[in-house]
Structure 1
Amino acid sequence: MGEWQPIETAPKDGTSILGSNGKWLHVIYWSDGWDEFVIAPQLIARNATHWMPLPAPPTPILNPGPPPVD
């Protein structure tokens, strides 16, 4: 996972990123319609000061086998 970066350097192509202002942490993305970073279509993340890329999703476990017996 990356390091926190100033929000001014965040991608503005609709990519989902982690955003924070030091008090909250949300997945945010740039909205051309609002010309702002948003948390949801009508919830603007105006106070975001930093961002970082989302981590890669976990690798699925294929055929994990039976659960362990205690």
Structure 2
Amino acid sequence: MSPEAVDGPPGGDPTGALTPEEAAEALQVRPDRIAAMVDEGLLHPLGGPGEAQRFSRAEVEAVRLQGG
């Protein structure tokens, strides 16, 4: 896994939140698996309805360490 997958790209989201594509890269899964992980309750998007989905870097890392 690239350091950017965990640490984020330079100039990325200042909150440290990951896009679904970045979360998929960090978890080494296809992006469509991220939607399934949300449905399964493994990941919880930040923000409210109508906002672009972002995920907590810490939560993605915890799922990665659990083998999610």
> Normalization by structure 1: what TM-score?
0.26
Q: Judging by fraction of residues, say which structure has more strand.
A: 1
Q: Judging by fraction of residues, say which structure has more helix.
A: 2
Choose 1 or 2 for highest CA Rg.
1
